[in-house]
Amino acid sequence: MSDSDEMGRANEMRRAKEMRPAKEMRRANGMPPADELLQPEMMGSEAEVAFEGALRPKSLAEFVGQHRVRGQLQLLLDAATIQNRTPDHILLAGPPGLGKTTLAMIVAHESGRPLRMSSGPAIQHAGDLAAVLSSLVPGEVLFVDEIHRMARSAEELLYLAMEDFRIDIMVGKGAGATSIPLDLAPFTLVGATTRSGLLPNPLRDRFGFTAHLEFYDADELVHVLRRAAVLLELRVEDAALIEIANRSRGTPRIANRLLRRVRDYALVHGGEATRAVVRSALELYDVDELGLDRLDRAVMMILLTRFNGGPVGLNTLAVSVGEESETIESVVEPFLVRIGLIIRTPRGRMATREGWEHFGMQPRNDIAEQLAHKHRPTGNEGARAGTQQLFGDEL
């Protein structure tokens, strides 16, 4: 045996001795060794990944809610199939968690085309987009999530690609630079955005169809939850499903997340997922009857107790809660405004009468008068209200 072989064996034995205490320490703490994490019995997360995929409907007929958008998409896809062409480019706009990604997958499935998925933040250069577009096969569906966050240079390259299915690639620099046209295979672009106002008009106008997704009502969320409960093999009462739906902020993604937490709670404590179990589970996770979480309630309590219901500026409110102002403005405030607990005024944020009542508190007399004045109809609304009092509802 050569000297190099002996040195190699010595190094392997030394590394084995060094690894043995680490393995024993992980086992003593109830943690499997690193080399056992890839064993088949440790791959339980694959079942959860498969469940996530099963939750997504595969066709428009299975998709719950968004009746108008579903009908419009069905017509667009059927017309493209009859004419044997790729569907027009589609823009899906709406708040997070309403099914934009699922609808993009359905578009590809219903049209029988392959799907390529990307995101706006991942496309920061025109070359990134050119590489994706040039590799598309005929009829492929390209889904770009958060398309409003795509780089401006890539957006400008996308204009010509969407209209004429070609791009111009610049080769060289300065006076010697030349433009080489590159033909693309016909494709369908499906863009998803939570802030359609940030899209430039030339890009927005090139989409053949724009769908605005709306929040779900309680009945639609119950249907979503019932389907998910079947997939989870979870026995749950209808009253429990209604309870979860009422706390889901009108968003299927939140509803499915809360259902999984209820599943975990029922699994640990045993028994069926009754309404009482749902209330106990969601109370544990700080979700109240309106769907407010810990941060929502912290903002409301600061507004009500420290600032007497406002008005208070956004930055002051954020500092008082200990969060970034962007978090308050984009995560907390939209839901509080939508359910009528706060209002936005030129002087800042103010709690409404419903906000005071939800937390079981009473505003001061002067604040109560201001709130009553804000609810009193003025101008044309007041004139119309007086006319209706005289002549009834005939007008």
Candidate list 100, 204, 247, 263, residue with the active-site label: 100
Q: Nearest 5°: CA angle at 358, between 353 and 361?
A: 70
As a whole number of angstroms, the distance between CA 355 and CA 304 comes to 9
DSSP three-state, residue 209: strand
Exposed / middle / buried, residue 167 (Cβ in 10 Å: 0-12, 13-18, 19+): buried
* Cα→Cα distances 119→132, 165, 219, 314, Å: 11, 20, 32, 30
DSSP state of 175: G
Active site residue 253: yes
Candidate list 101, 274, 316, 327, residue with the active-site label: 101
DSSP state of 30: T
Q: From the CB of residue 322, how many other CB atoms can be counted at a distance below 10 Å?
A: 9
DSSP state of 216: -
Candidate list 86, 102, 188, 194, residue with the active-site label: 194
Candidate list 204, 249, 253, 263, residue with the active-site label: 253
Active site residue 86: no
With a CB cutoff of 8 Å and minimum separation 6, the contacts of 239 are 274, 275
Active site residue 17: no
DSSP state of 10: H
Six token digits for residue 220: 């639609």
Candidate list 86, 145, 193, 247, residue with the active-site label: 145
Does the CA dihedral 278-280-283-289 come out positive or negative? positive
Can you spell out the DSSP letters for 40-65? GGG-THHHHHHHHHHHS-SSTTT--S
Which neighbouring-strand residues pair with 3? none
Active site residue 194: yes
Which neighbouring-strand residues pair with 344? 349
Does the CA dihedral 116-121-127-129 come out positive or negative? positive
Residue reference for tokens 């907390």: 332
Exposed / middle / buried, residue 288 (Cβ in 10 Å: 0-12, 13-18, 19+): middle
Active site amino acids: 100-101, 145, 194, 253
